Structure 1
Amino acid sequence: MPNPMPSPSSRPVLAVGAWLKNTACLLDATGAHGSDLHGDLRDAQACCALEASARDLAARSSQPIAAIAHDLHPDFYSTRLALALAEEWQINAIGVQHHHAHIGAVMAEHGLNEPVIGLALDGVGLGTDGTAWGGELLWVAPGAWRRLGHLWPLGLPGGDAAARMPWRMLASALHAMGRSTEIEPRLSAAVGAGPARMIQRMLETGLNCPATTSAGRWFDAAAAALGLHLLEQTEAEAAIALEQQAARWLDAAQAADAVMTRHESGIETDTGVLDIRPLLCALLDWPEAADRVGAAAAWFHLALAHALADWAAHAALQAGCRIVCLGGGCFMNAILAREVTRRLHSHGLRVFRPQTNSCGDAGLALGQAWVVAQQLDSPGFGLADEIASTQPFTSLLPSESLPCA
């Protein structure tokens, strides 16, 4: 079904999403038209469904497609499909940074045409510097954007595997706090002395420990610090358990202020790098009590939400913006979304987050399409700019053929 927009694109743009929870989107003169959910593109059937949706949406456009929008990651099937279709149709494929697209999706849904501050929090998305982003403070305007700040980075011991093992993210947080010597004593009983010692050495040497600014990985570390799901069987299992503990405690206590007044976070929010290490330090040293896990989980959510909101509010003041947009899968966390919004409102700011569109990757294609449509309509954005934006990816494509070619 079309999603009517205040500023439809006069030049149709087809967007193919990223990797997880993939959807495609066509943005044309009649509005935004989304595909069904394809699922994660690790599955060949999902890849075939994406290609079918992309071709179907292009055929439904009243005008020829002007450009194809895709994620920056060169190895995603969606990126490879975009480049293949662009070559077939003799148009340009334009990469859109993952978190820029998350904020673009919010702006598209709400018809925002003025500069905003964007707070994009999720598990991972490739940054323009080639590193894994996921806790991003952005300035976004139609046709332009820049990164203002990010969360304190953590190492990913073992790379992507760390996203499925929250105990590794706890080890990474301990290392980031200068407490590496605690990794083996704290984690040996749960995961074994050998694995704990190995991860400690990896972190200390930097071997296979790429950095990430991901908010999702900080949630993993917090959950592991409280003994919740050191290993995950399903996506975001640890973060969901942490939210559930916090929600139960807040429902029973009915006094969020009580836990905040007992424990101050001490986080500086007038900086480009939001250092949330003190939150993990507090969880690790939380006093023993019958309600320890629930109280600590609630405090973590509230302290993080306040720090994020104050950080964004400071950026809004500096940039002269009155709007903050919230995007990314971490805002599926109801406590985080509610408390960040409340705190931003207390600063006198307007807050927008997805309502009909997903805040996670299922809504990313709309943002990609909107970003590219705005670029195409911007004065001075010409063919040379479009071609330049595709060049970094063509030499990095895997040699294997597309599964549905």
Structure 2
Amino acid sequence: MARTAREFAVTGIVQGVGFRPFVHRTAARLGLDGWVANVDGSVHGAVAGEEGDVDAFARCLSGEAPPLARVRRVALRAVRGRAPARGSGFTVRRSEGARTGPREIPPDAATCEACLAELFDPHDRRHRYPFINCTGCGPRATIVEALPYDRVRTTMRRFPMCAACAAEYADPADRRFHAEPIACPACGPRLSWDGLYGDDALRAAVKTVESGGIVAVKGLGGYQLVCDATDAGAVAALRARKHRPTKPFAVMVSDLAAARRVGRVGSVAAGALSTSVRPVVLVAAGPRPLPADVHPGSDRIGLFLPTTGLHHLLLHALDRPLVVTSGNTGGEPIAVDEQAAHHCLDTVADGFLDHDRPIRARHDDSVVQPTGRGLMTIRRARGLAPAALPLPRPAPVPLVAAGAQLKHTFALAEADRVHLSPHTGDLASTATYDAFLSGYDLLRPLVGIEPRAVAHDLHPGYLSTQWARARPLPRVAVQHHHAHLAACAAEHGLTRPFTGVAYDGLGLGDDGTLWGGEVMVADLAGYRRVARFGTAALPGGDAAVRHPWRTALGYLHGAEPLGSPPPERELTDRFAERLDPAARTAIRAMIARDVNCPRVSSAGRLFDAVAALLGLADEVTYEGEAAVRLEVAAGRRRGVPLVQRIVEHGQMWVYDPVPTLADLLRRQADGEPVAELAAAFHRTLADVTAELVARAVDAGAPRTVCLAGGCFVNRRLLADVRRLLRARGLRVLVGRDVPVGDGGIAYGQAAVAAARLTRTTHGRA
């Protein structure tokens, strides 16, 4: 067979995932000569040998790539210049930095089984070494400082390899061949605790947790606060010190067997828990409940398995579930460096388990939940970000999407891909805003995208919008709920029009009111609102979000006049009697005089109002808490639907919530249990949604329906709406890899901006 030679270029997530060692092994197995190297953000090389072997090599590049790799494209061409000589062998060349095309950053990966076996092998030189890793696992996105991905361009450059590690790094037969974070006790990072180091530091941390204390642990992407999840006193102390009174804590367990003792872990959840991502997976609480303070007000518990050797060692020594939550105080970003952590967590933690490997990028834990046979991403961070996502309408110019205000992320887009940043938090403090700025300054050069346009929300009060407006770039303003729907559509590759249902808390509409219960006919470039929820007064704006009883009064006394009679005075008075008289009088006066009472058409705020009317949530401490309590109260009960009324108003269909609330109050007064009424409301909202969509479809709207917005994190609502729409023969799509809530807004903004800029550039949609 004739001898041939080919150059190859592979793009995607192909650096930091063992791709060069894989190429070396493949070429050696096939008897090929040549070379491979990291070139900027891709892998390039050349091979020479028998034609059939070269063809087999090319097929292997994408078909047999390492598990952590994501191959986007393999390009082959004839060798320019001198081909690799026969018998010259195959080598790994020095990396090159010339800009050659798309650049992707590999996410961090949890400790693999091979490294785990070494970690607990007394005869292995890495026995009990917390920073154990190989080409198949370990830190990636949190340590990389520049591309191409080599040790000298990561935070590991501070740790020169010892002779033993250098030998493994250079050995093609070793699984640590070109593992850039390679380390061992002789040359790598080490733990510290108040003057103690290594195993002594670890033992001090273990002793503190055993005695009921709280430890701040420096993890992969930031500090984590750790305590004994079975110790009610320790959990209560963590809540008090962290100023987090009710939001559930995540719990780390040693393995799937331990997870099944505290949670109801089905096959989908088990699969998610076991991946290299190691996300927090929301499951129903299990047969051996943890203290109520771990997940108060919720029947769900967030579980995850160890992500690093350090986590494995902690769990092995303590042999119990551990609360492992973000190392921050309420509203602040997760701490990443030692000085900042000791400053902001000094009053929270009883001790600090530090290490000396710098964290380059802030990554909190990712959060997912099973939805039927699939998964929904709630928070995209460690293990997922900043891996590229598809862009069905390629961006004609590089662009940045500034994101929303809550659950903030930003996005960088070029051509047909989008890099969605890891979760930042709520842009409500200087520290969180600074974290956004530093994250942007880090990610932009890493992925090689220099924006020439910026997309942003309509709301002028969002810090992300203000940042976007300060950029000296062309701007694309994107309505909040259109961005939600575009995120779902883009993830599923839709470019044609679709029907969208966007349910969330609040987002500024193009009419100047606050939206959140919308049905639209849309494509990636634009939308037309075809149905909505009736509006109500939101007394005090954000204050009503924190105090749902205010929202309830806004619906009872300030609902949009759509022709239905208000609830009987006797029924509204029964609710008002529970409230402080002075506060009740003040809020009613605000509504009557329309003082600081923005109008809102929001499914999320309607959930808040119903939760307050049922006595489930007069005050909340985190976004969505009232809706969580309402979903928990409903459980699996079916409930009898409440009264529904849909009217045609202003050339669109409008759901009038007043009859629903009046019926709820009436049935409550008749003694119907809260749980039954909570279930009834869920059924009602699902029925209303299906009817609004059906009317839109009957009028010509597309039969593909995208569901988006934070309300669809509610499993009951999502399941019922999806079932009812599918029963009508409609195709129903919901986000999987992109957060369904505000964490996906930036991705949606990027998709909309790309479509609009394309239309402007080419003069067509």
* 2:608 aligned with 1:223: no
CA distance in structure 2 between the aligned counterparts of 1:22 and 1:267, rounded to whole angstroms = 36
Say if 2:646 is the partner of 1:268.
Answer: yes
- 1:343 and 1:52, CA in 2 relative to 1: closer, same or farther beyond 3 A? same
Instruction: Report the secondary structure of 1:321's partner residue.
Output: coil
> What is the RMSD computed on CA atoms of the aligned residues?
2.2
Partner of 1:141: 523
Q: 1:179 to 1:63 in 2, by over 3 A?
A: closer
8 A Cα contact 1:187 1:196, kept in partner = no
Tell me which residue corresponds to 1:47: 433
- Please give the alpha-carbon distance, in whole angstroms, between the structure 2 residues aligned to 1:52 and 1:183: 53
The verdict on how the C-alpha distance between 1:112 and 1:126 changes in structure 2, with shifts beyond 3 A counting, is: same
Query: Identity of paired residues, percent?
Result: 39
- Counterpart secondary structure, 1:12: strand
Q: Does 1:98 align with 2:484?
A: no
Secondary structure of 1:149's counterpart equals strand
What are the Cα deviations for residues 65-88 of structure 1, in whole angstroms up to 9, with x where unaligned? 23111111112211121122x31x
Q: Map 1:112-261 onto structure 2 (within 5 A).
A: 112-175=494-557, 176=559, 178-179=566-567, 181=569, 185-247=573-635, 249-250=636-637, 256=638, 259-260=639-640
In structure 2, relative to structure 1, the CA distance for the partners of 1:11 and 1:182 (3 Å cut) is farther
1:346 matched to which residue of 2?
727
Confirm or deny: 8 A CA contact 2:397 2:414 kept in the other structure.
yes
TM-score by length of 2: 0.46
Cα 1:301/1:32, change in 2 over 3 Å: same
Q: What's the offset of the Cα at 1:148? A: 1.7
Give how far 1:45 is off: 2.0
Q: Does 1:300 align with 2:686?
A: no
Q: In structure 1, what is the Cα distance between the partners aligned to 2:506 and 2:590?
A: 21
Deviations 1:307-362 (A, max 9, x none): 11220122123134111111111111111111111111111110111111111101
2:451 counterpart of 1:70: no
Residue identity opposite 1:147 in structure 2: R
Structure 1, unaligned runs of 5 or more: 251-255, 383-405
Q: Do the aligned partners of 1:269 and 1:311 also contact (CA within 8 Å) in 2?
A: no
Q: CA deviation at 1:4?
A: 3.4
Report how far residue 131 of structure 1 moved. Answer: 1.3
> For residue 315 of structure 1, what is the amino acid of its counterpart?
A
Q: How does 1:30-41 map to 2 (within 5 A)?
A: 30-41=416-427
Which amino acid letter does the alignment assign opposite residue 55 of structure 1?
D
Counterparts of 1:192 and 1:62, CA distance in 2: 57
Letter of the structure 1 residue corresponding to residue 618 of structure 2: L
CA distance 1:179–1:303, shift in 2 (3 Å)? closer
The change in CA–CA distance for 1:20 and 1:320 in structure 2 (over 3 A counts) is closer
Match of 2:406 in 1: 20
**Structure with the larger helix share:** 1
Is there any run of 5+ residues in structure 2 with no aligned partner, and where? 1-386, 560-564
Distance 1:151 1:6 in 2: 31
Q: 1:159 to 1:367 in 2, by over 3 A?
A: same
Instruction: Give CA deviations for 1:208-250 in whole Å, capped at 9, x if unaligned.
Output: 2221111111111111111111122332222111100112x42
Number of aligned pairs?
A: 368
CA 185–244 in structure 1, closer or farther in 2 if over 3 Å, else same: same
* Cα distance between partner residues in 2 of 1:330 and 1:82: 27
Cα deviation, 1:153-177, whole Å, max 9, x if unaligned, reads 0101122211111111221222236
2:3 matches 1:3: no
> Please, which moves more after superposition, 141-150 or 337-346?
141-150
How much does 1:264 deviate?
5.3
CA separation in 1, counterparts of 2:568 and 2:550?
12
Higher strand share: 2
Distance in 2 between residues matched to 1:380 and 1:337, nearest whole Å:
38
What corresponds to 1:387 in structure 2?
none
Q: Which residue of 2 aligns with 1:322?
A: 703
Q: Secondary structure at the match of 2:667?
A: coil
Letter in 1 for 2:475: A
| In 2: Cα distance, 1:147 partner to 1:122 partner | 15
> CA 1:7 to 1:94, structure 2 compared with 1: closer, same or farther past 3 Å?
closer
Give the letter aligned to residue 153 of structure 1: T
Which has the higher relative contact order, 1 or 2, with Cα contacts under 8 A spaced 6 or more apart? 1
Point out the structure with max Rg over C-alpha.
2
8 Å Cα contact 1:137/1:150 also seen in 2:
yes
CA contact (8 A) 1:184 1:196 kept: no
CA distance in 2, matches of 1:266, 1:121: 18
Equivalent pair of 1:228/1:242 in contact (CA under 8 Å) = yes
1:49-78 Cα distance to aligned partner (Å, 9 max, x none): 222233344334556423111111112211
Q: Are the equivalent residues in 2 in contact too, given 1:25–1:57 (CA < 8 A)?
A: no
Question: Cα distance 1:362–1:155, how it changes in 2: closer, same or farther (>3 A)?
Answer: same
Q: Secondary structure at the match of 1:37?
A: coil
Describe the shift of the 1:203–1:288 C-alpha distance in structure 2 as closer, same or farther (beyond 3 A).
closer
Which letter maps to 1:363? G
Name the amino acid aligned to 2:728.
H
1:82 counterpart SS class: helix
Q: Among 470, 491, 497, which residue is 1:109 paired with?
A: 491
Higher mean displacement: 14-23 or 371-380: 371-380
Give the distance between the partners of 1:300 and 1:105, measured in 2 at CA: 28
Whether contact under 8 Å (2:531, 2:692) holds in the other structure is no
